[in-house]
A and B are shown apart, each in its own frame.
Chain A
Amino acid sequence: MNYFTLFDLPRKFNIDKKLLSQNFYKLQLKFHPDLFINDSESKKKIILEKSIQINKGYKTLKNFLNRAIYFLCLNGYEVKKETLLLKNNDFLIRYFSLYEQLDNLKENNFNKKELNNLEQIIQKKIIYCKKKIELEFEKTRYKKVIKIISELLFFEKIKDVLKKEYNIYLRQIN
């Protein structure tokens, strides 16, 4: 059973998140292992498997990237986050320019204006990528989706690094 069927959602990339959560809770109220504490070991085992499937499915569909990769897989395109991130050579060049900006920030003690600026640049790119992915999915152009996912992964990574570095800085001055 695929996760869309499990959560009773139409097999489309764009999903109703509220409905997903609602159905997740409904399933949990039916299959959570704690509800079967007095049952036989064999029943417990089956329930445990079911419960794991529910948790895995929820985790996959809830998150934009995980859902995208899963949806690709359902359509016959198997991709892995790790390999996508490494492949994209064009982006490595831009990677450095953004990294330079990050280094500058560090030297300027995270100047508020520049920090906001860089954050916004990254955030805009992320939103842009996500919109494009949704669009390409509608047009069933999966190869294009894969390319944009690797871009998205790349920006998410910079965002992460920026956050980490800023946190380190904040702790130092505290």
Chain B
Amino acid sequence: MIFFKKKHDKKLLLGIDLGTTYSLAATVREKSVILLLDKKKRYLLPSVVHYKKNKISVGWKALENITEDPTNTISSVKRLLGRSINFVKKKFPILPYLIEKDIHEGIFFRTNFGNITPIDVSSHILKKLKKRAVLLFNQEIDASVITVPAYFNDFQKKETKKAAVLSGINLIRLLNEPTAAAVAYGLQKLKKGIVLVYDLGGGTFDVSILNLNKGIFEVLATSGDSNLGGDDFDDALAKNIYKKSNLQNRCNDFFQTSLLQIAKSTKLKLTKYEKVEVHFFDWKGYITREEFNLIIIDFIKKTLFICSDLLEEINLSVEQIKEVIMVGGSTRIPLVHTEVSKFFKKDLLKSINPDQVVAIGAAMHVDMLFSSKNNTKNKVILLDVMPLSLGIEVMGGFVEKIIFRNTSLPISKTKEFTTYKDNQTSILIHIVQGERELVKDCISLSRFVLRDIKPQKAGLVRILVTFQVDTDGLIHVKILENYSSKEKKIIIDNNITLKNLNISQILKDSLKHSKDDYYFRVKEEKKIECVRTLEILNKSLKKHLKLISKKELKKIKYTQEKLQKSIQEDDYFSMKNNLQKLDEVSKNFFSLQLKNAIDCSSIKNILKENI
């Protein structure tokens, strides 16, 4: 079989769209993009995996089992990837699978095949695509790019990467889906100008605004909702059919799944027809397009709110958008099309099949990555941004933003940390992602402790922590202690509690609650100041009691107690008042103490302390 050993002069480079409902792969051959087909000439692979006792089936085959064996047939797993048990319970209360929580608050499915994580399911889908490629081209995959929703957080991206590693497809890069779509259109049709990508898929909504300029794709800003998509339309339609059919008390998994399947197919038919006949058990009825439009209009409005917020954020008007690119299967729905077109006041770009455009763009990108070196004239590069702000927890449960959203990647920022108490030997650093001011409202990415700090006076230690975000949007943390210049590298890993918020909610909440947050913040900061003042004063009093009269001491003690009480009562106004009073009554004591310190120490000592 010499033929098989023949060395291929063309590398096998894959662009993979790992979608919520369907996945597909594409590659570039002789300057044109080829979609990878299966034996039956289908390019789509349903993102469904069926787990039998000793057998795993993926795609169309698995889809056949979805109504018969719903418990062991996992679909739309992308919505569960990188999510916590709490999130899943809240957002998807009626999933037909047996779901349990793992030790990190994540989830796994109990199937006939065994325990399976969302990463496993994703990797099984990827393996199936890999098989297609190897079969078609008779060579191993040299490199691949997988697309992810731009609005995926660090967890979701890293889980995708893990799935890629498990499936052995030589992943070299994650690419944001809207950016991939822009590449597909940009390289084929557009040359210059600002474009907006409206990407409404099965499970996620993404919007990105890009500036195209002679081979440079610069993402200006990106936003979205990692839990809004065609599946929501199905759910809403299913509820509607359920209500109309009056078939109650049949809430088993089989019933649920078939209802959802009927809703799905009705939705698809409604893109073509004005009126669709629906059979569901012994019920028969009609759903009109008008009826369907009423059911989904609120979801579409939500996507347009996200668009208008994003435009405002970067000071662009609708008129400045040259083209609007439509991506994702759900943009086939006529109402989505008309509403988006109305909002942007223009015809929409949809000449490339919305199911294929992301994979095509990914294939072009991976091809670019390998050919751009030899071809300096037609270089193409992507400048992407950070979708969510990165911050750390500071005292009082607040977030201090380190890297703001929509910052160009790669980027890094170094922050100095110090000790807050004398002889403190460790510092806790808590990294979060999100736009809100309070830690509890953001996504908690990592918590780590800096240990073995040399005991010193408070504030003397300097520890430099560098937060670096690479072109994939993944976060790395580097720590440099000023004295030892020991370098320690931490890569944020998915081994901590997952929080249950999605991003647009975070953004929206950030808008809605900014005032509450602000007031709360002011109060908390005052509280911290009070506690600190009390602490310092107590410490000094203990040491230098003899400096003041009994009468003065009594006055100070009295005011201290009053301040303590207002802290306990959480009363901002009285905290402010009493702190002011305490300052006044203790002023004399502090100046005496300072004088005493200067008298007692030589210049040398003072200089030393100030260093």
Contact = CB atoms under 8 A, between A and B. Distances in A.
A64 to B, nearest CB: 13
B379 A171 contact: no
B407 A59 contact: yes
A169 B95 CA distance: 37
From DSSP, what is the main secondary structure of chain A's interface residues?
A: helix
Given A29-B216, A48-B470, A35 B410 contact: no
Contacts, number: 59
B408 A59 contact: yes
Contact of B379 (A35, A52, A59, A167): A35
A58 to B, nearest CB: 7
B410 A33 contact: yes
A38 B410 contact: no
B511 A38 contact: no
A54 to B, nearest CB: 9
A25 B216 contact: yes
A51 B410 contact: yes
Contacts of B312: 163, 167
Interface residues of B, number: 30
From DSSP, what is the main secondary structure of chain B's interface residues?
A: mixed
Interface string A28-45: 110011110110000000
A33 B373 contact: no
Interface in B193-246: 213-216
Contacts of A25: 213-214, 216
A143 interface: no
Contact of B373 (A38, A48, A59, A164): A38
B553 interface: no
B501 interface: no
Contacts of A48: 410, 470
Contacts of B215: 29
B468 interface: yes
A34 B410 contact: no
A55 interface: yes
B411 A28 contact: no
Interface in A116-174: 163-164, 167-168, 171, 174
A32 B383 contact: yes
Contact of B216 (A28, A33, A38): A28
B370 A28 contact: no
A55 B381 CA distance: 14
Given A167-B309, A171-B305, 14 more contacts: A25-B213, A25-B214, A28-B216, A32-B471, A33-B410, A34-B382, A35-B372, A35-B379, A37-B370, A38-B370, A52-B468, A59-B408, A167-B312, A174-B301
15 contacts: A25-B214, A28-B381, A28-B383, A33-B470, A33-B471, A34-B382, A35-B373, A35-B379, A35-B381, A37-B172, A51-B410, A52-B411, A59-B407, A168-B512, A171-B305
Interface of B: 172-173, 213-216, 301, 305, 309, 312, 369-370, 372-373, 379, 381-383, 407-412, 468, 470-471, 511-512, 514
